[in-house]
Structure 1
Amino acid sequence: MTGFSDFNFKLLVVEKLMYWDETLKPAFDLRAHMRARGVQDLDAYVAANGLEYTVLPEARAHFEELEIPAELLATVDELTFDGGHQVFQECAPVWDGEDDLFDLHSLEDLHLLPNLKLFTGADALEYMLPGALDTLAAHGIASR
């Protein structure tokens, strides 16, 4: 089992593999997941439980437990940080992007991606983690 130390870093990897490359299957669909648990109106559920600005516990559990084989991790050559990622909407369906909910907290997981060559969203990354661009460069990863 490959363990990630930063949940939000893992979400970037999931975005790439599950929603862009479609190699990590099945794609997680929070609305379908919640309907299967009897929640027909996800927005009402979120509001009634005060979950507007958080990762829903059901989504967090799914993605925390999700195992990503090393073979798939080795296919990741580019990561992108963008507030519009599908995985963010699957975690927090009414998130508006106006807070730090999905900010990265560390780059300790870079070693899990041996073929990572490019990180897009460098301005946001440097804001989240001052010195991050130097860390990427030290690992031979370009940024833009």
Structure 2
Amino acid sequence: MSRDVNMPSIDVSRDGLRIDGVPVDAQSVRALTDALGSPRTLPPNGSTTWVVWDDVGVRASTKDGEVATGVSVTLATDARREAKRDESASLYRPSGAYTGAFTIEGQPPIAAAPDAELRKAYLMLRFRVGDWEFVLLLNTTELRELHAMEARERFARQQTEELADVVRSAHAPVTEIIASYRPVPPVKKPSGIWKLPVLEEPTLSLKSFPFRLAILNELMFVQRVLGPRFNVYDFAQDQGAKNFDPDAYYDTMIPSVRAWLRRYPIPTRVAGKVEELVLDGGNEIYAQLIPQWDGEDSSFDIATITDHDLAPFPNLRRVDDIGGFLGPRARRALARRCVQVDGAD
């Protein structure tokens, strides 16, 4: 890929961020502005404010408009991703792309990525360099060969260099790089608050995990009759040596959270409290599993519900499927039990 010599060079290494060879405080919006020029600052979106340098394809997330929590560099357009994005999302992204030389420890991004990460390439590459965390979003349009593979085939090829070679040989394999300065915090002993409860009473056995999530959302987050009320950020920082950053999983389900929610004991005695379920992409429980989930995949779809799963809930009378989570078989199973289903079909 040809590089624009008039565009400032950017290098991120263990020693920090350098723009045109000059050290820049990557956590300071003012320092980034001095190096890149005047940005476009958007109104707060929740707790995040985006600062965007359109001409150089760079944006930074910040909580207070002054301290940058992460810097993103757009390298190329990914037509497949763009087609899935809501039109309003483009406001938060640079209108231009970065065409200069971006390096990690002096190397092109793909060369800096660990071989083990490249061998399992699919949607992104994720790795650390010192106190920096990198997420390289792969160009799904250019790497369509990866996305044409069945999951089983792709998994088998992870044992070889095949997937890595597809990425290495691509003209523009990376569409966006997200660099976040995240020093590893000191390890603290777990408090024990997230140890799974041990109950001496009957508990529910639900075969469908997405349906279990819907039940947990109702009882733990809506009615609040179950506890502790799960918080992925507290959970992540209370794992001792296994502490992790939930946002580093981007759009991937966090395995330890999935395991906790799957094993959490739901007392049979509270099943009668479930009279209505709301299936919405904004449900709190989904943000616990995938904090950056954008609703663009089927992670939480309920394809089917068995009579075994529905039997403990005699008072369930309505399901509002706002997000279109229910598959045809699940809808028929609910109808057989005279449960009214509203919403997308």
TM range (shorter): 0.7 to 0.9
1:35 partnered with 2:233? no
Q: For 2:333 and 2:245, locate their aligned partners in 1 and report how far apart those are by CA, in whole Å.
A: 43
Residue type matched to 1:100 in 2? S
Question: What is the aligned counterpart of 2:253 among 28, 46, 55?
Answer: 55
Equivalent in the alignment of 1:26: 228
Aligned residues: percent identity? 29
1:85-124 CA distance string (max 9 Å, x none): 1000011111111000010131112112121000111771
Q: Which residue of 2 aligns with 1:133?
A: 331
Asked if 2 retains the 8 angstrom alpha-carbon contact of 1:77 and 1:117, the reply is: yes
After superposition, the Cα gap between the structure-2 partners of 1:116 and 1:37, relative to the gap in structure 1 and judged at 3 Å, is: same
TM-score (norm: length of structure 2) = 0.37
Distance 2:322 2:311 in 1: 18
The DSSP-based 3-state class of the residue aligned with 2:265 is coil
Instruction: Count residues in correspondence.
Output: 136
1:89 corresponds to: 287
Aligned equivalents of 1:133, 1:104: Cα separation in 2 = 9
Pairwise CA distance, 1:141:
0.8
Is 2:324 the partner of 1:124?
Answer: yes
Distance change >3 Å, CA 94–CA 71, structure 1 → 2: same
Tell me: CA distance 1:136–1:40, structure 2 relative to 1, closer, same or farther (3 Å).
Answer: closer
Q: What SS does the corresponding residue of 1:33 show, helix, strand or coil?
A: helix
Q: Structure 1 or 2: larger strand share?
A: 2
| Structure 1 residue ranges, 4+ long, deviating more than 6 angstroms after superposition | none
Matched, 1:16 2:218: yes
Which amino acid in the other structure matches residue 102 of structure 1?
A: F
1:122/1:137 CA distance change after superposition, 3 Å: farther
Higher helix share: 1
Alpha-carbon offset, residue 63 of structure 1: 0.5
How far apart, in 1, do the equivalents of 2:329 and 2:210 lie?
18
**Larger RCO: Structure 1 or Structure 2 (Cα < 8 Å, ≥ 6 residues apart)?**
1
Question: In structure 2, how many angstroms separate the alpha carbons of the residues matched to 1:6 and 1:132?
Answer: 11
Instruction: Give TM-score, length-normalised by structure 1.
Output: 0.85
5+ residue gaps, structure 2, are 1-202
> Cα distance 1:36–1:123, how it changes in 2: closer, same or farther (>3 A)?
closer
Letter in 2 for 1:93: P
| More moved, 3-12 vs 105-114 | 105-114
Structure 1, unaligned stretches of length 5 or more?
none
